[in-house]
Structure 1
Amino acid sequence: MRVPETMPADARRADVVPLHHVVPNLLRNPARALVEFGERSNGDVVRLNLGSFRPYLVTRPEHLQQVLREKAGNYVRAGDALQWRPLKRLFGEGILSDGEPWSNSRHILQPLFTARRIDGLVDRLAEAIEEAVDELDEPARAGRPVDMGAEQARIVCSAIMRVLFADKISVPDALQIMEAQDAIAWSVMPRILLPWAPLAMPMPGDRTFRRSVRLIDEVLLPIVRTSHRTAESDGDDVISTLWRGRTEDGGRLDERQVRNDTVSMVATATETTISVLTWLWPHIEQDPQVAARLQAEIDQVVGGAPVRREHLGQLRYTRQVLDELLRMYPIGWLFPRRAVEADVIGGVGIEAGATVVVSPLITHRMSTFWDRPEVFDPDRFTPEQVRGRHRYAHFPFGGGPHQCIGMHLFYLEALLIVATVLSRFRFRLQDPTPPRIKVAAALRPVGRVEATLRPVRA
């Protein structure tokens, strides 16, 4: 068969995972199906037959580096495919898009998320987390089970709204936004699984999506507009920074882009921590050795004192636990890209305009790259193991110019939450089985994780 003129002549065609294998498995269990597609590829570039839509699946770390970093300019965010198209109706043009709007937003927001600035917020973040964790004392003394996902949402929102948004968004409002974003994550699944369907075609979830976006705007737009009036003299919170910031050509963002970036930053600064940590508790309860090492490190480093900046660098095993959680449950699980010009990846020709899909969920769980990938093992992330592994074998925050600017914040926030909770409480789960993965706009745990807490000190 003749190679199309848009494809390099020396390239071979990708093997195709057939339609009858792709669609039924995706509909039955998307998370499992995606990993099976990766295992079937053995690291080679393959195409997934979704009917009229046939994206290339790229899983090998060397190939991921090419797409995400070395040739990032040729592989732009695919705004017309997979989850980006339905979610663009929520996030719009800005920090989660591409091109000039993304460049302008990143230029303005990046200074807020440098390692030096985030490190300077640690003590404020720690105090906010400690105050939020105080509210667990009462159910712990009463022996009343708590929903760890809901408690983490409250703790994270309390900390992030104070430190990044200067309490302009109240915790009740933030929790309302979280609930709406959770509904949106489920509502767009039919469109993610049927990416060829036009947005004008009614689909299940559309009404929920529109209602949830309207609720988010009702909460955030008045705050965004009020902040515009005080931005010049106000602090360095996210919303004031967006209004006050200058784009690379000296311009200003309009209200729509400030709104888009505010919605994006509320979501990205909260969702990853809330969801990832929900899987933490069953995994450490299932493995007494991991639990004992984690608890021993926190007891030794923190003891009975409040968790503060000086403790974090010593919580090395705790950081390994978080890295292993992110390997198994990378919230940014799918990064579609569109090839601007024809290219070759691993000997396979990629024509101009083709969609390329990279997925941490797939690569992180492939036996081609990981030994016993289904096993929760924080020792994969000892310094020696990390040095011997390709940079793009583990990329839960993406890579290249679009790597999540909140990565450093996640690690600090998650370390503080885990260390604060485990320095003050012991816990027992109602059900120690890790929740199944629900593939939505972001990975979500299916069901609740309920725990009974016991204070360490009376």
Structure 2
Amino acid sequence: MTFPLHRTLSGFVRDPLEQLEKIGAEGDGRLVRLDLGASRPYLATHPDHVQQVLRRESENFQRDGVFWRPLRDLMGDSILAEGAEWEHSKRVLQPVFTTRNVNRLTGLMAEAINDAVDKLHEPAREGRPIDVMPEMGRIVNETVIKVLFGDKISPREANLMIPTFDQVATSITFRFLLPFVPRAIPMPGDKKFKTAVQIMDDTLYELVDRYRDDPGEGSDIFTALCEARMAEGSGLDDEWVRNNLLAMFATSTETTTLALTWLWPLLHDHPEVEERLFREIDEVVGGERVRPEHLSDLPYVAQVVQELLRLYPVGWMFPRMATRPTNLGGVDIKPGDAVLISPFLTHRLASVWDRPLEFDPDRFTPENARKHHRYAYFPFGGGPHQCIGRHVFNVEARMILAALLSRFRPRLSEAVPAMPRIGATLRPRQPIEMNLTPVGRDS
């Protein structure tokens, strides 16, 4: 099934994500080919096809080719690369993200989250609205920097990196959508992207220089990378450390920040979900500061977070390139063919999900979750390249949500539709503001 350029061009120009949704819905799980003029990638949305690409034939479908170029340009040979570079980076970083190590760090994580949420009391008392995405990003970044980066990134450096990465993620949009356009041809966002990357480089290389030979002790990302760099005969350099620092900073902050940003418009539109959250969190956390042991008694919080990532997976597109001939969904795939995998589209297939556009956390009760195809839901990818930070996200997002709703009742300043725009990640099209009313001991 092919979608010719003359049929889709106006839609891609007007709203590329909406056009992709229409194509995904019309294809209804069939393998479709997109005619983009200079490129003709396949779009695979059926869970069986996703499983074949990401897991069963993962060695054949590589993170390579023209659609991977923008991220490769940004993060180079890192854990987001392929082959030996990816394997080495994953081997170095994996110990930081083991369930055992994350569980060991949850007390520190809870402390960082509670301290970060404390800073919301000032605008709450003053009746001043908060800009949701920057505030969620602040809470996440303060937590991640303390827990995963060993508190080695100073507030000054964090204040440089956070808005700069935001600029990177948005200015890369056109290169991400049209990766086959030669670099010699200027595109919107190129200048902002170059400036932002230079700021990130200046900051990251300064950090690498500071900690390269003395990263200190601990099971954090900085220590793991610097120790690997120092190992005799490693062949690793400062650029390798920089690439992995940027990759891990991006992946460990973006998912949680954006998931928590999407939450508030959805709760505004679904007061019954909000009320169940309030009730569960009040019963379990009450007036206490959130602790790791609270999480096992907050099943509905976990379901809400899972449903957030079904509707708004942050990594919305996973490009792959075939390296040898195969057959996918009855279609012969040749070496060099690009295959696009999209959690955003698969998670919204009517043939896979009942009422796919409706926000319904009860999809993820234990009995309902067992009914899903393993690759009907894959916000963290799958197979050997599945995100190593997924356990951190699951713990962190639930604790932040519990900490926020145990202390405040949020209300949007105005109703904002939860409509995303395409970039390296899916971000809201317009700012979201909300007021926080303190509750219980904080009122």
Scaled to the shorter chain, the TM-score interval is over 0.9
- The change in CA–CA distance for 1:296 and 1:104 in structure 2 (over 3 A counts) is same
The alignment partner of 1:393 has SS state of coil
* Structure 1 position 293, deviation (Å): 0.7
Contact 1:327-1:364 within 8 A present in 2 as well: yes
* Structure 1 position 248, deviation (Å): 12
How do 1:329-348 residues align onto structure 2 when only pairs under 5 Å count?
Answer: 329-348=312-331
* Structure 1 position 21, deviation (Å): 2.4
How do 1:46-445 residues align onto structure 2 when only pairs under 5 Å count?
Answer: 46-78=32-64, 80-82=65-67, 84-231=68-215, 233-245=216-228, 251-445=234-428
- The change in CA–CA distance for 1:412 and 1:250 in structure 2 (over 3 A counts) is farther
Residue type of the partner of 2:128?
R
The alignment partner of 1:411 has SS state of helix
> Whole-Å Cα distance in 1 between the matches of residues 101 and 324 of structure 2?
38
Contact 2:266-2:418 within 8 A present in 1 as well: no
TM-score by length of 2: 0.96
Residue type of the partner of 2:335?
A
> Whole-Å Cα distance in 2 between the matches of residues 349 and 94 of structure 1?
31
Greater Cα offset, 144-153 or 167-176: 167-176
* Structure 1 position 252, deviation (Å): 4.8
> Whole-Å Cα distance in 2 between the matches of residues 247 and 219 of structure 1?
21
The alignment partner of 1:223 has SS state of helix
> Whole-Å Cα distance in 2 between the matches of residues 345 and 157 of structure 1?
40
Q: Tell me the residue number matched to 1:43.
A: 29
The alignment partner of 1:392 has SS state of coil
Q: Tell me the residue number matched to 1:5.
A: none
Ranges in structure 1 where 5+ consecutive residues have no aligned partner: 1-14
Greater Cα offset, 323-332 or 163-172: 163-172
Contact 2:212-2:226 within 8 A present in 1 as well: yes
> Whole-Å Cα distance in 1 between the matches of residues 420 and 340 of structure 2?
20
Contact 1:282-1:433 within 8 A present in 2 as well: yes
Following TM superposition, the consecutive aligned residue runs of length 4 or more in structure 1 with deviations greater than 4 angstroms are 246-250
Greater Cα offset, 23-32 or 417-426: 23-32
* Structure 1 position 145, deviation (Å): 0.9
Q: CA RMSD in A?
A: 1.6
* Structure 1 position 22, deviation (Å): 2.6
> Whole-Å Cα distance in 2 between the matches of residues 126 and 353 of structure 1?
46
Residue type of the partner of 2:8?
V
* Structure 1 position 437, deviation (Å): 0.4
Tell me the percent identity.
Answer: 48
Q: Tell me the residue number matched to 1:31.
A: 17
- The change in CA–CA distance for 1:346 and 1:256 in structure 2 (over 3 A counts) is same
> Whole-Å Cα distance in 2 between the matches of residues 192 and 151 of structure 1?
27
Contact 1:139-1:146 within 8 A present in 2 as well: yes
The alignment partner of 1:103 has SS state of helix
> Whole-Å Cα distance in 1 between the matches of residues 93 and 230 of structure 2?
10
> Whole-Å Cα distance in 1 between the matches of residues 115 and 350 of structure 2?
42
Q: Tell me the residue number matched to 1:451.
A: 434
* Structure 1 position 246, deviation (Å): 7.5
* Structure 1 position 205, deviation (Å): 1.3
Residue type of the partner of 1:377?
D
Ranges in structure 2 where 5+ consecutive residues have no aligned partner: none
> Whole-Å Cα distance in 1 between the matches of residues 185 and 175 of structure 2?
10
Residue type of the partner of 1:81?
V
The alignment partner of 2:411 has SS state of strand
The alignment partner of 2:319 has SS state of strand
TM-score by length of 1: 0.93
> Whole-Å Cα distance in 2 between the matches of residues 53 and 415 of structure 1?
41
Q: Tell me the residue number matched to 1:4.
A: none
Contact 2:49-2:329 within 8 A present in 1 as well: yes
- The change in CA–CA distance for 1:316 and 1:247 in structure 2 (over 3 A counts) is farther
The alignment partner of 1:357 has SS state of strand
- The change in CA–CA distance for 1:316 and 1:248 in structure 2 (over 3 A counts) is farther
> Whole-Å Cα distance in 2 between the matches of residues 249 and 377 of structure 1?
53
> Whole-Å Cα distance in 2 between the matches of residues 247 and 77 of structure 1?
28
Residue type of the partner of 2:324?
E
Contact 2:130-2:434 within 8 A present in 1 as well: yes
The alignment partner of 2:134 has SS state of helix
> Whole-Å Cα distance in 2 between the matches of residues 89 and 129 of structure 1?
33
> Whole-Å Cα distance in 2 between the matches of residues 177 and 435 of structure 1?
26
Contact 2:350-2:356 within 8 A present in 1 as well: yes
> Whole-Å Cα distance in 2 between the matches of residues 248 and 374 of structure 1?
50
* Structure 1 position 255, deviation (Å): 1.1
- The change in CA–CA distance for 1:434 and 1:313 in structure 2 (over 3 A counts) is farther
- The change in CA–CA distance for 1:127 and 1:240 in structure 2 (over 3 A counts) is same
Contact 1:328-1:364 within 8 A present in 2 as well: yes
* Structure 1 position 81, deviation (Å): 1.9
- The change in CA–CA distance for 1:195 and 1:89 in structure 2 (over 3 A counts) is closer
* Structure 1 position 225, deviation (Å): 1.4
* Structure 1 position 247, deviation (Å): 11
> Whole-Å Cα distance in 1 between the matches of residues 94 and 410 of structure 2?
38
* Structure 1 position 121, deviation (Å): 0.8
Give deviations 1:86-131, integer Å, cap 9, x for gaps: 2322211111111111110000001100111111111100101101
Greater Cα offset, 419-428 or 446-455: 446-455
Contact 2:17-2:422 within 8 A present in 1 as well: yes
The alignment partner of 1:326 has SS state of helix
